[in-house]
Structures are given as C-alpha cells and as structure tokens.
Structure 1
Amino acid sequence: MAANLSHEVAAPGLGGPLLGNRDFDFLREFVLAHCGIALSEQKRQLVQGRLLRRLRALGLKDFSAYCELLRRDPDAEMGDLASAISTNVTSFFRESHHYDLLEQTLLPQWLAEKRRSGGRLRIWSAGCSTGEEPYALAMVLAEALEKHAPGVDAKILATDLSPQALAGAREGVYPVDKLGGVSAERRRRWFLRGEGSYAGLACVHPRLRELVAIQPLNLLHEWPMSGVFDAIFCRNVVIYFDKPTKERLFRRYAGKLVPEGYLFLGHSESMHGLNDDFALVGRTVYRKKPA
C-alpha cells in the first residue's frame, strides 16, 4: 500500500518523495496522451529524479499534488513537464550531411524556382530545442539568398514545447565552446563575441534573427500555420514517440509540405513501415511522393 502513497516514502538518495505506482501510472497515461511519449517502467527512476525539481520549484510536497495540478490545468505545466522528461541534446550543424544537401543542391534549386515564380520559401524546424538547429539553417539560408536570390521571401519557423528551450533560442547566446560545429569563417561572420562580463559567450548575428521566427508548439495539438513548407526538420524528436503517434505525425507532415517537399529525421530515426507518403532519398532524408 505504501508504494501507492508517494508522500509516505522518501526517494532513495534523492532527498524527496517517492513516485508511487498510482502517480506513475497517471503520469505515463498523461504524457502519452498529451506528448506522445511512451514511458516504460524502466523510466520510473529517471522521471522521479527529474520531476523532483519541478516539485521543488512549484512548492509541492509530493507527486500526488503534482498529478492533481496536471488534472486541474494540464496546459500550464505541459512544457515544463516535457522538458523534464526529455533530453534536449543539440548542436550547431549536427548531422552535417543534411546541411550539405541544402547548401549544395536544394536551396539553389528552390531559390531559382521562387525567383521565377515570386513564391515564398519556408522551412520548419520542429523541435528546435535551444536554437542551434534553426540558426544553423539560417546561416546556410542567408548565404544562399545572397548568392542566388537576394529578393526572395524566405523564413524559418522554429517551434518547441519546452519554455526553457524556447527562451534559450530567443536569447541566441551560446558559450563559445559550444560552437564546435561552426566553421571559423561562419563564426566570424554570424556571431558577435561577448566582452567583459560576457567573455566566453557568442550571440547570433541580427541577420539570423530576422530569418527565424520562434514559437511554442505541441506537435500533438492543433497547428496554427496556414501555409506549407518546402522542408521540415524533425530530428531526434520522434524517437520519444510511440508507433501510432509517429504514424499520425508523419501523415500531418506530409499535409504541410509542398509537392515533393523534404522531411529530415534524426540519425537514429526511420519512417520504415510507418508511412507511404514519403520516399527515402538520402541518409534520413525523405521526399514527399507526387500525388
């Protein structure tokens, strides 16, 4: 019985309450329904340790009180909950072959077409975390615009569920030692080095900010965007989702891409057996099939 009463037993080595069966079962169902993330029994200790920080931040005495908060107002805590149970690991130009494909092939083609037609170019960074991905995309896009089509209307939408991650992306300030994937030339051009109390930090160039719109979005909820995208980057995001959620998400992505638009996944992710709307055309690169 004590296992169901999370406030009665201290979490071993964590200095806090134990996550009991009843509360963990609720959290598993809640997270699956609202975030599409499937938590196994093996994740209990991880969830307990990470959510203890939320309990302390909110001044709650136990996990039952936290679960009650989620029942009362799920939207208010959704981003912080998702941040706590997922791992935001990202870097500039991670999986560089995707950026090479954009720079060398796709952007020159797209921009030539947009210049002729007067159309817009749109890229979506879905699950943008702290901003490294969309700002890396913005570097490549800014350079391509200068070279191929300065007048084309081009923008990057960057979305994430985590308020903390979005705050970091909006700030656009990174430790210099986190710029390892950025070439020396791009560092000089696209970052402003901090001085004095800001020494050791680098801020993204205002031009990159102009190209990137940062917005909160839960991928499982309604999408407010009315237009379509030439490419969607959703890398190292669906790895957390169960199969039905992945299937629904891939169908929705297909509906938000232009004909023969591109979807980029992470290195450990695959669409195999989950969707027939796309064809694999490169390493974790998928193109929407013609209608």
Structure 2
Amino acid sequence: MAMVLAEHRSDGPWEVFGSDISLTVLARAQAGVYTQERISGIPPDYLRKYCLKGVRSQEGKLLIDNRLKQRVRFAQVNLTQPITGVGDFDVIFLRNVMIYFDAETKRKVIENMLPHLKPEGYFIVGHSESLHGISTRLQALKPTIYRRAR
C-alpha cells in the first residue's frame, strides 16, 4: 500500500497506519524485513525503488527503505474496544479480520471504526467477508467495498 501511495502521491500528504492486537506481529511489521516469498506479488520496479537487498546474514531478505518506513506507523489496537488517537482515514482496510467475529462483534467493530472514517471514505473487507446488514452507515459499492454515508 505504501509503495503504491509513494508512486502516485509522492509529493502529497499521506500516511499508512497498520494495527494488530499482537505486539509480536507489530514488531515484525515495524522492522520492515521480508522474505522473497512474502514479496512475490510486488512489481519488480517497486522492489528496486523501495527495498534494499539483504547481504550476509540477511541474504534472501528485503528491507523496506527508510523513506517509505517514515510514512508508515503501527500501533496495538483492539478493534472490539473504543479506539482513540489514530486519526481520520480516507480508506480503512479490514481484510480477513471480520471472518473471526460473530454479527454482534462485527457491529461493535464497525461502530468503533466509523468515527475514524472520513465522510464518503471507503471501508474494504476481504473477499470472504461481508458487512451486509451490519451497519446502515455504510453503503455497499461492490461485494467487499463500502462507502461511508455523508
């Protein structure tokens, strides 16, 4: 996501915010080190531009360039609790998260996230997920893409 934004909004203001409940997962994400297998879907020109190849003990790994890492921040967030201090977003991705929750918990997660989604902002879930009937404040545009009502 950060690479795409850097390519298409290089001079504009943007930031990527990633969250998880696991501090271990967050530390791994913050490090920005990936194996070759994990980056297989990233275009080669993006890899050349935004990644550094590992050498010696890091051979076979790629490190995200600091210019890109400076635009990405991570924090521990429990989606089922009120969320504070994260800011407002144009797009919220909750891919492959909602499948773990029952309908009532999904409603709670959406209600916790919606105050942080700008009016007419997009809310995107995974292909095996649906928010149908969960919130009247989100309009379905496509099966996994929703927009916040004004």
Q: TM-score range by the shorter chain?
A: over 0.9
Q: Is 1:253 matched up with 2:113?
A: yes
Which residue of 1 is the match for residue 130 of structure 2?
270
CA contact (8 A) 1:192 1:203 kept: yes
Give the counterpart letter for 1:139 in structure 2.
M
- Find the partner of 2:102 among 242, 251, 257: 242
The CA distance in 2 between the partners of 1:192 and 1:283, in whole Å, is 37
* Counterpart position of 1:145: 9
User: 1:42-191, aligned counterparts within 5 Å?
Assistant: 137-146=1-10, 150=11, 152-191=12-51
AA of the residue aligned to 2:8? A
Match of 2:70 in 1: 210
Q: Which runs of 4+ in 1 moved over 6 A?
A: none
Between 1 and 2, higher relative CO (CA 8 Å, sep ≥ 6) is seen in: 2
Shift of 1:164: 1.3
Paired amino acid for 2:137: D
Cα distance, 1:200 vs. partner? 0.6
Matched to 2:113, the amino acid is Y
Structure having the higher strand fraction is 2
Q: In 1, Cα distance between the equivalents of 2:149 and 2:102?
A: 24
Identity of aligned residues (%): 36
Unaligned runs of 5+ in 2: none
In 2, the alpha carbon distance for the partners of 1:289 and 1:248 equals 18
Q: CA RMSD in A?
A: 1.4
Distance 2:102 2:73 in 1: 29
What is the Cα deviation at residue 269 of structure 1?
0.4
Is the 1:278–1:287 Cα contact (8 Å) retained in structure 2? yes
CA distance in 1, matches of 2:82, 2:75: 13
Distance 2:82 2:141 in 1: 29
TM-score, with structure 2 as normaliser: 0.93
- Superposed displacement of residue 226, structure 1: 6.0
SS in 2 for 1:247: helix
| Structure 1 residue ranges without an equivalent (≥5) | 1-136
Give the TM-score taking structure 1 as reference length: 0.49
Distance (whole Å) between structure 2 residues aligned to residue 224 and residue 252 of structure 1: 9
Structure 1 CA distance for aligned equivalents of residues 52 and 135 of structure 2:
43
Structure whose residues are more often helix by fraction? 1
Which structure has the larger Rg? 1
